Structure 1
Amino acid sequence: MQRLAVVLLCVLFAPAAVHAQMKGDPATGRVIAERWCSACHLVSPRQTSASADVLTFMAIAAKTGSDLKSLEAFLADPHPLMADPGLTRRDIGDLVAYIASLR
């Protein structure tokens, strides 16, 4: 009976754990943004300058709202004018989580 209860708990909570894992880590995303994106974008409120006239991460966060899937898709297939740092799916999830945290 205890074994059945453990199995049921695992089945019930495993999808939530996977979903949480897929969301990404904002702290790691901030590190990625500072490393790969800050030359062109203002990636945090404390950054004072960037070299290109592009949207800030705070503006991107406000613009995308809750539509994070389109942001993930954009980062997976970057615009030709945007550098392609070769982000992994995990990097993209972390970066999107960071951008979402700026709302």
Structure 2
Amino acid sequence: MGRGRRACLSVVAALLMAPAGEAAAADSAKGQRTAERWCAECHVVASGQRRASDAVPTFAQIGRSERFTEATLAAFLANPHHSRMPNLSLTRSEIADLVAYIKRQAR
């Protein structure tokens, strides 16, 4: 098993072992602020956004994707290896908030 795969599995395991209340405490409003600050340069993070790259999916597309469950999305955000996306070094709380916001965009 490669280092990247082990790192991804470690992140998923850590998220799964986090207290259940931590996941419930995810705040999509905080996630929106994080998205607007760090993600809106490339991604469309809200329906009224005017500018973004056509080369990357919107948050609504990511939120609807079967590929990205909450766990896989959180693992990717924690370690976006083999990706054009930079590692933003987000905290677990910021990741949980951002995942909650992205999933809310799927509606």
Question: TM-score over 0.5 for the alignment?
Answer: yes
Report how many aligned residue pairs link the two structures.
86
Determine which of 92, 96, 101 is the counterpart of 1:98: 101
Q: Please, what is the CA RMSD of the aligned residues?
A: 1.9
Q: State the TM-score, normalized to the length of structure 2.
A: 0.72
**Are 2:48 and 1:55 equivalent residues in the alignment?**
no
Q: Which runs of 4+ in 1 moved over 6 A?
A: none
Query: In 2, Cα distance between the equivalents of 1:65 and 1:87?
Result: 21
8 Å contact 2:78–2:87 — kept in the other structure?
Answer: no
Query: In 2, Cα distance between the equivalents of 1:52 and 1:82?
Result: 14
Per-residue deviation, 1:57:
0.2
More helix by share: 1
**Are 2:20 and 1:19 equivalent residues in the alignment?**
yes
8 Å contact 1:61–1:99 — kept in the other structure?
Answer: yes
Which range moved further: 76-85 or 87-96?
76-85
Determine which of 31, 34, 54 is the counterpart of 1:32: 34
Q: State the TM-score, normalized to the length of structure 1.
A: 0.74
Gaps of 5+ in 1: 1-17
Per-residue deviation, 1:82:
0.5
Q: Deviations over 1:64-96 (max 9, x none)?
A: 488211111111111441122210100000000
Instruction: Please say which structure displays the higher CA radius of gyration.
Output: 1
Distance 1:76 1:66, change over 3 A: closer
Q: Percent sequence identity over matched residues? A: 42
One-letter code aligned to 2:56 = V
